[in-house]
Amino acid sequence: LTGTSREQRAFQYLLAHAIPGDPHHILQTFDQWCYHCEHLSCAHAMSGRIVERVLLERAPLRVLELGTYCGYGTVLLAQGLPPGARLYTIEGDPRHAAVAEKVIRLAGFSEQTVELIVGPSEEVIPRLREKHGLTNANLVFMDHCKRCYLRDLRLLESHQLLAEGATILADNVLFPGAPHFLQYAKTCGKYHSKVHRASLEY
């Protein structure tokens, strides 16, 4: 009835209730909205703890996120980056990207720390080195279309965009599921794989 999308409504809620420049409070306010107002299919508190643990263990300097959506996962990743690190995040839907850009900047992250790239992942990935200066990524967080997980992992491999010992963190591989990606990760011989149990979003 308002003529605005639920993503835009979530951002309006953030503007009214979140503390600008405080990433932790931005995420808490997002969670509040999603638990009590409208559901959004983004990373959430439980999967967020897994992301935070990986960031703490790995301290990656170059991070790539596939699937920005509203920017929740982006803020989660950005707040755990070590000093001097850079996050590249790719979103295929320009409407979602417009909301995410505002969320990321509201959380206090500049373009020097977080670069949002708008476009289909299969078109953006081959241009990451030449156009965006990403030589390779130490950590990749996949939270976009599940059927694209395997295709995009193989694109990252073929364009040599994975640093030695890189970590690939993929959300929702059991449900809605990315079976071909899982099978490849387990059987190709390039990766040690582990499944982390978490609840569905909210």
Residue 93 known to be catalytic: no
CA 176 vs CA 37, 51, 143, 168: distances in Å: 23, 19, 12, 18
Q: Which of 157, 172, 186, 190 is catalytic?
A: 172
* Residue type, position 171, single letter: D
Give dist(CA 96, CA 65) in Å, integer.
14
- Mapped onto helix, strand or coil, the DSSP state of residue 31 is helix
Residue 172 known to be catalytic: yes
Residue 186 known to be catalytic: no
Radius of gyration of the chain (CA): 16
Q: Which of 115, 171, 190, 194 is catalytic?
A: 171
CB 68 within 8 A of CB 90: yes
Helices (H) and strands (E) in the chain, counts: 9, 5
Q: What share of the chain is helix, strand, coil (3-state, %, to 5)?
A: 50, 15, 35
What kind and span of H or E run contains 91?
strand 86-91
Q: Which of 65, 91, 101, 146 is catalytic?
A: 146
Q: Which of 31, 52, 115, 201 is catalytic?
A: 201
Give dist(CA 60, CA 54) in Å, integer.
9
Q: Which residues are designated catalytic?
A: 143, 146, 171-172, 201
